Amino acid sequence: MSTHHSEAPVGDTLLITVTGRDRPGVTSAVLGAVAHVGVTVVDVEQIVMRGQLVLGVLVTAPRDARRVLDPVEDTVARLGMNVTIERGQGDNRARPEQRAHVTLIGAPLKASALAAISGRIADCGGNIDRIERMARYPVTAIELKVSGAAPDRLRTLLAKDAAELGVDVAVQPADLLRHGVRLIVMDVDSTLIQGEVIEMLAEHAGHGEAVAEITERAMRGELDFEQSLRERVRLLAGLDASVLEEVYGQIVVNPGARTLVRTLRRLGYRFAIVSGGFSQITDRLAADLGIHRARANTLEIVDGRLTGEVVGAVVDRAGKAEALREFAADLGVPEAATIAIGDGANDLDMLAAAGLGIAYNARPVVRAAADTSLNVPYLDAIMYLLGITREEIVAADAADGIVTPTPPLL
């Protein structure tokens, strides 16, 4: 037998709004002023910005409102602050079922962009219930909690505005998935690391320019990935296998990658990398960064030299999506709780298969298809989409003895 619990209706209420210079004990003093009256606290919200406090307390209204007004006004006057008290009906505004988290990221984030995005949300019938800053350095990230607008429609409309305004906007449904353990699957070349490994190898073979041109066309979706990969790998034939060691030493991990993995591993997240590159590189990279799973192509090596062939099936566009599904099943993570990050056309199926597909500094064809885009050069900005603030990241690192650079004063 199941029982449905509904919230009890609330009658007359008093909204107490206190503003002024913040100090310890304000909230306690205001609540203490109404405690003896026997009212019930219906809702409380408080923010502090640059030392200025705004405290809202919603309480049930006694028949004689002066029983609340007098002690609250006396208390607030002693604190040297301001108060307004309004009588009304019911609880805080009921939240419609259609709720979303809208995250704006800019470097910088201009007031004009925030105004335009806010206006578009209103045009969609949405209401911004709460705004919170997620980070101010090295990018500015702001999260808007929105109700009354369908997340899918918001995502479509705000994506167009974001491109015109030069900011990143991510829209996600407000559900439990955002708070649970998730699997993050990343592309490697030009996503987890800077540059393309195959181009670095091709430089040693004297074919850097030709390989770079083919790679770019493949990433834009103009060439079949498997055919283009085999064509490029053939140009590596005869290279001494020791070049792989040299190239690995030249790899530069993208800013924020280690912070992203380190922080989310603390929360139980799982990580995987899926690459159209080569396992001789990606397996070492996974071990170095603490990534749980890795899949890539394997270069054939005979007598210490590259043959110009790959071993086994090529990890192509479809193969990346298949890997994501296999890793999710292996790790016990629902596919809806997966996040995929990529930049090229061969990442499109993987981004579509994930619960959240993120185009990271991606080609236009990828940005157009992904759930959201990030165009800042910091992988750890992805954590702002998950509701994690820069302050929380810094504090967790400090607890482990990791020093984070101090942001400049504004």
CATH number of the CATH domain containing 206: 3.40.50.1000
Across the range 20-40, mean pLDDT stands at: 91
**Taking 90 as the threshold, does the pLDDT of residue 8 lie above it?**
no
Distances in Å between the alpha carbon of 43 and those of 59, 68, 82?
Answer: 7, 16, 20
**Residue 381: inside a domain:** no
> Is residue 266 located within the same domain as residue 355?
yes
Q: How many residues does the chain have?
A: 410
Check whether residue 64 and residue 114 sit in a common domain. Answer: no
The answer as to whether 386 is a domain residue is no
Residues 246 and 369 in one domain: yes
- DSSP category for residue 191: T
What single-letter DSSP state applies at residue 303?
T
Instruction: Give strand pairing partners of 386.
Output: none
Our count of domains for the chain comes to 3
Q: Is the pLDDT higher at 294 or at 178? A: 294
166/197 same-domain check: no
Question: Would you please indicate which residues are annotated as catalytic (active-site) residues?
Answer: 187, 189
Judged against a pLDDT cut of 70, whether residue 154 lies above it is answered with yes
Q: Is 74 contained in some domain? A: yes
pLDDT in tens, 237-280: 999 999 999 999 999 999 999 999 999 999 999 999 999 999 99
Q: Both 113 and 241 in a single domain?
A: no
**pLDDT given for residue 112 in this prediction:** 94
pLDDT tier, 392 (very low <50, low <70, confident <90, very high otherwise): very high
Q: What tokens appear for 303 in the block?
A: 């007598």
Residue 3 has pLDDT above 70, yes or no: no
- Per-residue pLDDT, 93: 62
Tell me which of 381 and 410 has the higher pLDDT.
Answer: 381
Q: Which of 61, 89, 117 lies at the terminal end of a domain, its last residue?
A: 89
Residue 33 has pLDDT above 70, yes or no: yes
Residue 246 lies in a domain: yes
Q: What is the DSSP string of 192-211?
A: TBSS-HHHHHHHHHT-HHHH
Locate tokens 């505004």: which residue?
93
In sequence order, which residues have a C-beta less than 8 Å from that of residue 262 and are 6 or more positions away? 290, 397, 402
For residues 158 and 123, what is the distance between their CA atoms, to the nearest angstrom? 11
Query: In sequence order, what DSSP letters do the residues of 211-272 get, joined into one string?
Result: HHHHHHHHHTTSS-HHHHHHHHHHTTTT-BTHHHHHHHHH--BPTTHHHHHHHHHHTT-EEE
The predicted structure's pLDDT at residue 175: 85
Q: Are 243 and 336 contained in the same domain?
A: yes
Task: Note whether 79 and 103 are same-domain residues.
Answer: no
Pairwise CA distance, residues 167 & 33, whole Å: 45
To the question of pTM greater than 0.95 for the whole model, the response is no
| Confidence at residue 10, expressed as pLDDT on a 0 to 100 scale | 57
In a domain, 47, yes or no: yes
Give pLDDT tens digits for 158-204: 998 998 999 999 999 988 888 888 999 999 999 999 999 999 999 99
For the chain, what is the total number of helices (H) and then of strands (E)? 15, 15
User: What pLDDT is stored for residue 92 in this prediction?
Assistant: 67
The domain in which residue 49 lies consists of: 12-89
Q: Are 146 and 127 in contact (CB under 8 A)?
A: yes
- CA 151 to chain CA centroid, Å, is 16
So what's the pLDDT on residue 367?
92
158 and 249 both lie in a single domain: no
Structure confidence at residue 94 (pLDDT) = 54
Q: What is the 8-class DSSP label of residue 285?
A: H
Mean predicted lDDT score pLDDT of the chain: 92
**In the predicted model, is pLDDT for residue 301 greater than 70?**
yes
Quickly state the pLDDT bin for 5 (edges 50, 70, 90).
Answer: very low
Check whether residue 103 and residue 252 sit in a common domain. Answer: no
Helix H or strand E segment including 184: strand 183-186
Q: Is residue 5 part of a domain?
A: no
Confidence at 9, pLDDT banded by 50, 70, 90: low
Ranking 38-47, 245-254, 321-330 by mean pLDDT, the lowest is 38-47
Q: How far apart are CA 372 and CA 262, in angstroms?
A: 23
Give the end of a domain, one of 147, 179, 211: 179
pLDDT per residue as tens digits for the range 354-372: 999 999 999 999 999 999 9
Query: For the domain that residue 130 is a member of, what is the CATH number?
Result: 3.30.70.260
Cβ-Cβ contacts under 8 Å for 365 (sequence gap 6 or more): 220, 221, 345, 348
125 and 232 housed in the same domain:
no
Grade residue 91 by pLDDT with cuts at 50, 70 and 90: confident
Residue type for position 339: I
Whether residues 131 and 261 fall in one domain: no
Does the pLDDT of residue 399 top 80, yes or no? Answer: yes
Q: pLDDT at residue 71 above 90?
A: yes
Task: Tell me which residue of 237, 243, 260, 226 sits closest to 374, measured CA to CA.
Answer: 260
Give the span between the Cα atoms of 383 and 393, in whole angstroms.
9
168-173 and 127-135 beta bridge pairing: unpaired
Of the candidates 179, 196, 215, which is a domain's last residue? 179
Q: How far apart are CA 160 and CA 173, in angstroms?
A: 19
Is the pLDDT at 6 greater than 90, yes or no? no
Same domain, yes or no, for 218 and 354? yes
pLDDT at 4: 42
